[in-house]
Chains A and B, each alone.
Chain A
Amino acid sequence: MKIPFSLNGKAVEPDLNPMARLLDVLRSEFGLTSVKEGCGEGECGACTVLIDGEAANSCLVVMGNVIGRTVNTVESVLETPRGRMIADALAEQGGVQCGFCSPGFVVATDALLTAHPNPTDEQIRHSLSGNLCRCTGYQMIIDGVRTAADKVQTNEN
């Protein structure tokens, strides 16, 4: 059955099982392999996407729940100036090592900066609490997000 939704700014209407996972559909139907499957149960955040601007675990979302909604992956986040600043700042601060978790962190950070343009450290840690990284030990990611938030603020003012 046809599932109409918006994906990275384009209207799409794939013909799919409504109980297919958004994660699988993004990867296999649309080739968006930035969306990673880590745990498959909402613990690791590697599959984080934006749905109507909110961070969501695409491994937990079935297609029937995205009908008429707006889905954005890191590909479209990186087309925005803010998305690029987030990715650059993470790289600059050493917040990217193997890179598996990075798309999820960029997306979660984008959602954070929508909700809190000038986040406290507590807000940063809280917003990223659903994203696991086994390389960096997190502090470099927190530093990257702080750097990104400061750059976004400077650029907007």
Chain B
Amino acid sequence: MRTDVKTPTRQKEQLQRGTSFTVGGAVAAAAPATLGQALELLSSHRLRPIAGGTDLVVRNRKGAGIPIDIGDPPLFIGHLSELKELRPAGAGPNANAGEPTGSAGSRPAAAGSSSVGPVSIGAAVTLTQLQRSPQCPPALSIVIPEFASPAVRSFATVGGNICNASPAADLLPPLYAHGAAVELASTSGSRTMPIGEFITGPGTTAIAAGELMTRIEIPDTAADYRFYRKVASRRANALSKLSVYVAARTRRGQVQWIGIALGAVAPTVVHLPAADYDLFGLGARELVEAAPEVIRAYDAGVNPIDDQRSRAGYRRRTALRLLEFVLTEDLPAHLAAPGQGTDAGGGDSSKPSLPSSVT
């Protein structure tokens, strides 16, 4: 049961008892039984979708004993089985039914590799369900342990973290770096768009009235080099001051592909594919030479703010210093090291040490 993200049958039946509650002819709250019902309700009523609620409740709380007011009547979607599937991309709905290990349809994992191939994650999959799934993309499995706390992750959903569109959202940097896309559905059909187009600003997205986010499509995030630092006031349960995510695939001492993304240093995540592309094909020494140009591009791309968590200057300086560390020390050391080709994930004692100012 623990690795199966599907809704238990018992739970579904109970939810079917009440699909929507009306007060004076208007829908006051709705707990639909299916995604189809949810989309129907959303097309004809003013409702606010709520999945785990861990952000919405904090933002709208008024105090002890007072119910949460999220502006419009709630449309509960966190239980919908269609939004809780985690499957290999392209496998189609229910490809994994009854198979919690989820190997059906995915390409066989190479020995010693944590590659899970491209995956399609239902928007209401919780962080805990994702973390425990063998299909959790390695790009996200290094981020989730630093995402809030276990008791928040058991309700917080992948789709919620994306739709809230916080500049400091923990899942966003890896999703940008690897080119993830989101699927939006309404009664008139569905559309898919790149994550960077979906998020239009702090707290704003391209979602239209009547649409729900249904899935997150993530390409294969396998990488033999991966760096992630969330800089916050404490290791657990803290919002990020800034974050740096870099993944690279290398071969014979050269960068084949690299994706860089900086979080919480601009209104949205900063990911500059053209700058990253300039690093493709470079060896360790060339990478060190090319680094200043790329760091300048990211310097021009970030636009941090002062807030209660940090100052703009600290955010810019620290993010760029971490990027410099990756491009001039850590990744070159990885390129020069023998026996590359496994998903590193960190923890190698021979690695250069981080700049002390940010540890």
**With contacts A62-B53, A130-B236 known, is A68 near B150, CB below 8 A?**
no
For A1-12 the 0/1 string (1 means CB < 8 A from B) is: 110100000000
Cβ of A41 within 8 Å of any chain B Cβ, yes or no, is yes
For B50-65 the 0/1 string (1 means CB < 8 A from A) is: 1011100110010111
Cβ of A108 within 8 Å of any chain B Cβ, yes or no, is yes
| Contacting residues, chain A, for B235 (C-beta < 8 A) | 129
Q: Across the interface, do B67 and A17 meet the contact criterion of CB distance under 8 Å? A: yes
Cβ of B336 within 8 Å of any chain A Cβ, yes or no, is no
**With contacts A19-B70, A129-B236 known, is A68 near B11, CB below 8 A?**
yes
Cβ of B209 within 8 Å of any chain A Cβ, yes or no, is no
Shortest CB distance B328–A (Å): 31
**With contacts A54-B128, A67-B15 known, is A130 near B152, CB below 8 A?**
yes
**With contacts A21-B67, A60-B58, A64-B76 known, is A55 near B145, CB below 8 A?**
no
Cβ of B93 within 8 Å of any chain A Cβ, yes or no, is no
Shortest CB distance A46–B (Å): 11
Please tell me which one of the listed residues B57, B63, B65, B145 contacts residue A62 in the complex, with CB atoms under 8 A apart. B57
**With contacts A24-B65, A42-B54, A68-B11 known, is A62 near B74, CB below 8 A?**
yes
- Distance of A41 Cα from B149 Cα, bound (Å): 12
For B132-162 the 0/1 string (1 means CB < 8 A from A) is: 0000000000000100111110110000000
Shortest CB distance B51–A (Å): 8
**With contacts A4-B14, A65-B78, A69-B11 known, is A21 near B57, CB below 8 A?**
yes
Q: Across the interface, do A68 and B14 meet the contact criterion of CB distance under 8 Å? A: yes
| Contacting residues, chain A, for B226 (C-beta < 8 A) | none
Cβ of A56 within 8 Å of any chain B Cβ, yes or no, is yes
Most buried by B among A2, A54, A59: A54
Nearest A residue to B2 by beta-carbon distance? A115
| Contacting residues, chain A, for B14 (C-beta < 8 A) | 4, 67-68
Shortest CB distance B286–A (Å): 39
A interface residue count range (under 10 / 10 to 19 / 20 to 34 / 35 or more):
35 or more
For A41-58 the 0/1 string (1 means CB < 8 A from B) is: 111010010010011110
**With contacts A24-B65, A126-B150, A129-B235 known, is A60 near B76, CB below 8 A?**
no
**Is chain B's interface secondary structure helix, strand, loop, or mixed overall?**
loop
For A77-109 the 0/1 string (1 means CB < 8 A from B) is: 000000000000000000000000000000010
For B201-225 the 0/1 string (1 means CB < 8 A from A) is: 0000000000000000000000000
Shortest CB distance B232–A (Å): 12
Please tell me which one of the listed residues B50, B61, B151 contacts residue A45 in the complex, with CB atoms under 8 A apart. B151
Number of A-B contacts (CB under 8 A): 125
| Contacting residues, chain A, for B155 (C-beta < 8 A) | 51, 56-57, 60-61, 65
Cβ of A20 within 8 Å of any chain B Cβ, yes or no, is yes
**With contacts A19-B68, A20-B67, A62-B50 known, is A51 near B58, CB below 8 A?**
no
Nearest B residue to A63 by beta-carbon distance? B67
| Contacting residues, chain B, for A133 (C-beta < 8 A) | none
Cβ of B31 within 8 Å of any chain A Cβ, yes or no, is yes
| Contacting residues, chain A, for B2 (C-beta < 8 A) | 115
- Distance of A28 Cα from B65 Cα, bound (Å): 8
- Distance of A6 Cα from B125 Cα, bound (Å): 22
Nearest B residue to A58 by beta-carbon distance? B151
Q: Across the interface, do A67 and B79 meet the contact criterion of CB distance under 8 Å? A: yes
**With contacts A18-B74, A60-B54, A64-B31 known, is A130 near B64, CB below 8 A?**
no
Shortest CB distance B91–A (Å): 26
Please tell me which one of the listed residues A2, A55, A64 contacts residue B151 in the complex, with CB atoms under 8 A apart. A55
Cβ of A111 within 8 Å of any chain B Cβ, yes or no, is yes
| Contacting residues, chain B, for A67 (C-beta < 8 A) | 14-15, 18, 31, 76, 79
| Contacting residues, chain A, for B78 (C-beta < 8 A) | 65
Cβ of B277 within 8 Å of any chain A Cβ, yes or no, is no
Q: Which residues of B contact A (CB under 8 A)?
A: 2, 10-15, 17-18, 21, 28-29, 31, 50, 52-54, 57-58, 61, 63-70, 74, 76, 78-79, 128, 145, 148-152, 154-155, 235-237
Q: Which residues of A contact B (CB under 8 A)?
A: 1-2, 4, 17-21, 24, 28, 37, 40-43, 45, 48, 51, 54-57, 59-62, 64-65, 67-69, 108, 111, 115, 126-127, 129-131
Q: Would you mind naming 7 contact pairs between A and B with Cβ atoms under 8 Å apart?
A: A19-B74, A20-B67, A24-B64, A55-B154, A57-B155, A65-B78, A68-B10
Q: Which 8 pairs across A and B sit closest by C-beta, in order of nearness? A: A130-B149, A129-B236, A68-B14, A54-B154, A68-B11, A55-B151, A19-B67, A17-B67
